[in-house]
Chains A and B, each alone.
Chain A
Amino acid sequence: MSNNGYLQIHDPLKPKGHVVGIDLGTTHSLVASVTQGKPRCVPVDEGDSLLLPSVVHYGKDGGVVVGARARKLAAEAPTDTIVSVKRFMGRSPDDPETRKLGHYAFAPGANVVRFDVAGGQPVTPIEVSGEILRALKRRAEAHFSGKVEQAVITVPAYFDDAQRQATRDAGKLAGLEVLRLLNEPTAAALAYGLDKGSQGMFAVYDLGGGTFDISILKLEDGVFEVKSTGGDSALGGDDFDRAIAQHVLQKLGVESPTPARIAEVMVAARRAKEALTDAAEVTLSVEGHSQPLSRADFEAWIQPLVAKTGAVCRRALKDAGVAAGELDGVILVGGSTRVPAVRRFVAELFGREPLGDIDPDQVVALGAAVQASLLTDTDRQDEVLLLDVIPLSLGLETMGGITEKLIPRNSTIPTAAAQVFTTFKDGQTGLDVHVVQGERELVQDNRSLARFTLSGIPSMAAGMARVEVRFQVDADGILSVTAKEQTTGAAQAITVKPSHGLTEEEIEKMLLDSIDFAEDDIQARQLREQQVDAERVLAEADRQLRENATLLEAGEREAIQAAMARVREAAAGKDYLAVKEALHALDEASRGFIERVMNRAITQVVSGHSVEEY
């Protein structure tokens, strides 16, 4: 968040290339583009698969593997292989949801989750998602034999500001201009709506791998209006797998399974679940143990999860002011809607057979491609317009930790609200503001989005200064804040500190670090790592030569300085192996000297203390 807003500014001179729609999913991701007037998904993984498993593996050599190959590595290197990263987006490490998500090693500190993975620095969910997006971009580029630089990326309608912000940052890291963050259900409706030219009121029931979304939309006069939306950002097909895995582990009598074991059982559980779509009973084999699993058992286990979606649907219908019977259609989205029990539940809930003739895995990406084309192709500009809503209420903390709602949920975006603050002490020049998102009364039950300080308020008597703070939500559902002192008209400085997620500076740094535009990313990454190492080692060597000159033997200084010069020279080049070798040579040349430095340091420490301390 910043005080200058988040409007996309397009550079008309930039070559456009292909514009794509991307479904950045919890379990898999897809990329689609409109060609010859029709949206089509692009093959992105082994065997020309349209689905790229959203799995990223970090190797010990610093290499990054994305997709089916990464998924195969999950069992042997579970903590270095990140699955379902979407669930971590915009979440902090101490979020209760984060802790439930499993077997990863988290690096300490910061207000963002950092996975401790092999091959270098800990990575944030934004970077992991960035790797997925980059893989999609590369593979789409290979498919089109041309550049892909602009994309519409979909997010669950229920994503809050921090999660949206994180998704957009991931796009930036992958070198994509994010034209729009589009709500997934809206994308699905767009895919259906344009194909069929339909008018009326629709519900989109979207049960994916990790998230559930429901949206009620109205299509009329070429305007797609989202009436209401609701969902659960931590409920999906993965939970079905988990339910199976839990029961299986219980039956096997495993009390505290290892991460590798959990990963293996989860894979078997997913296969069993998929097979149960057509079969009434399947056999599940884990570590040589075979277990029968009936569809009836499976349905009983997932029943509470499926029922949870019903309550959310009823609330969305109520918010939209329609009865289930008034709908003109129900659209199914997400692989988990293939589960027969889910289909039955939806049919019963809405009193009609749902539509499912577009592949539920592809429909979101196809809709995103349609929107990307609508936003960039001037010939299509008057076809259809999309009016989306903000999914969760935005509010401020007031006295006593109470939330005061500023913008209610389901407000059509772009939207804005203003609030006037006043000072409560004479001569007060600053004010703290806490922005939260959610429906609950108490601030502590909602999600903290940001805290900021209004500073530079002209010094006046208490209650005299009137600072108007304006909250603007743009068409992506992302918030920006501006402030003005009303009596003097002076604009106020706002420093926004996101409660979750990364600051602008951190993102900028990552952008520089990631060197997206290099042809060979692994090479570039390794070079960058070696360069950072070289800088650090050279600075340290300089310091030691200065501080411990008395420990140098004859000719040693010259030898070390020559080795340092070679490191400097190599670090300025492009070959990371050369830097590595030069560093090694420097290490050799200075070994004797450094040993003497260390010995002296230890002697000094020991002699500084009395014997009793040891």
Chain B
Amino acid sequence: MRTHFDVFGLPRSHAVDVPALEKQYRELSLQLHPDRVAPGNAKERLAAVEGTTALNEAFKTLKDPVRRAFYLLKLHGVDLDREDAGAQKDMPLAFLEEVMELREALDDAMAAKDLPRAQGMAKDVAVRKAAALQEAVAALGALEGAGDSPDGVRKASHALGRVRYFTRFLEQVDAFEEEVLA
């Protein structure tokens, strides 16, 4: 199967030079885009649409460190984007407690229309998210080196499960912020 890394000719790794990736994306777009195909060539145009679609998808995934990490995990057989993913149900108890605590605190702040309090929480959660992502990246790096080990995959999947939750939390604060400002 052709991976997103293959589209850019990159090795399978979380370490991606984003400015270089952006430059390469523009160069590949110039080559592949349907607008570059001579009018009249329907077959080539169709191929160009498909090629550009794949390029756009690969670029979107690889330029963002969080998406990139989820994608690497997916290549190891765990797709956290699927709602029915077993990995989601299998989170450790300590994390579930952390989630409940955060959830309640945010609900309180939102009920009190207290934007500064919610923003303060978001700041703290952003730090936790960065730490969880780092943990995930380390676990994924170990997987690339040593091959699939159930333990290693679980480690990465737990860390990314937390990233995913923190991301949702931050989105909620964003939505709350927009609501208060509007």
Give, as a whole number of angstroms, the nearest-CB distance from A180 to chain B. 8
Query: Beta-carbon contacts of A109-131 to B below 8 Å, as 1s and 0s?
Result: 00000000000000000000000
Which chain A residues (375-418) contact chain B, with CB distance < 8 Å? Answer: 375-376, 378, 381-382, 385-387, 411-416
Q: Is B154 an interface residue (CB 8 A)?
A: no
* Residues of chain B whose beta carbon lies under 8 Å from any beta carbon of chain A: 23, 26-27, 29-30, 33-36, 38-40, 42, 45-46, 49, 52-53, 56-57, 59-60, 174, 178, 181-182
12 extra A-B contacts, CB within 8 A, seeds A311-B178, A411-B56 = A7-B42, A7-B46, A7-B49, A9-B42, A12-B39, A223-B30, A311-B182, A375-B35, A378-B38, A414-B53, A415-B56, A475-B33
Total chain A interface residues with beta-carbon distance under 8 A: 33
Interface of A is mostly: mixed
Interface of B is mostly: helix
Residues of B within 8 Å of A376, CB to CB, are 39
Q: Is A432 an interface residue (CB 8 A)?
A: no
Give, as a whole number of angstroms, the nearest-CB distance from B27 to chain A. 7
A225 touches B26 (CB 8 A): yes
Give, as a whole number of angstroms, the nearest-CB distance from B70 to chain A. 14
Q: Is A357 an interface residue (CB 8 A)?
A: no
Residues of B within 8 Å of A220, CB to CB, are 26
Residues of A within 8 Å of B23, CB to CB, are 221
Residue in A9, A375, A411 whose CB lies within 8 Å of B60: A411
The verdict on A412 contacting B60 (CB below 8 Å), with A220-B26, A385-B35 known, is yes
Residues of B within 8 Å of A475, CB to CB, are 33-35, 49
Residues of A within 8 Å of B56, CB to CB, are 411-415
B36 touches A385 (CB 8 A): yes
Pairs of residues from A and B, 8 with the lowest C-beta to C-beta distance, nearest first: A12-B40, A10-B39, A223-B26, A10-B40, A412-B56, A9-B42, A221-B26, A416-B53
Give, as a whole number of angstroms, the nearest-CB distance from A221 to chain B. 5
The verdict on A7 contacting B45 (CB below 8 Å), with A221-B23, A311-B182, A376-B39 known, is yes
Closest to A315 in B: B178
In Å, the complex CA distance between A416 and B40 comes to 23
Give, as a whole number of angstroms, the nearest-CB distance from B131 to chain A. 22
Residues of A within 8 Å of B34, CB to CB, are 414, 475
Q: Is A456 an interface residue (CB 8 A)?
A: no
In Å, the complex CA distance between A387 and B60 comes to 13
Give, as a whole number of angstroms, the nearest-CB distance from B49 to chain A. 5
Residues of A within 8 Å of B40, CB to CB, are 10-12
Can you list 24 A-B contacts with CB-CB less than 8 angstroms, sorted by A residue number?
A: A7-B45, A9-B45, A12-B39, A12-B40, A220-B26, A221-B26, A221-B27, A311-B181, A314-B181, A315-B178, A375-B35, A385-B33, A385-B35, A385-B36, A411-B56, A412-B56, A412-B60, A413-B56, A414-B34, A415-B53, A415-B56, A475-B33, A475-B34, A475-B49
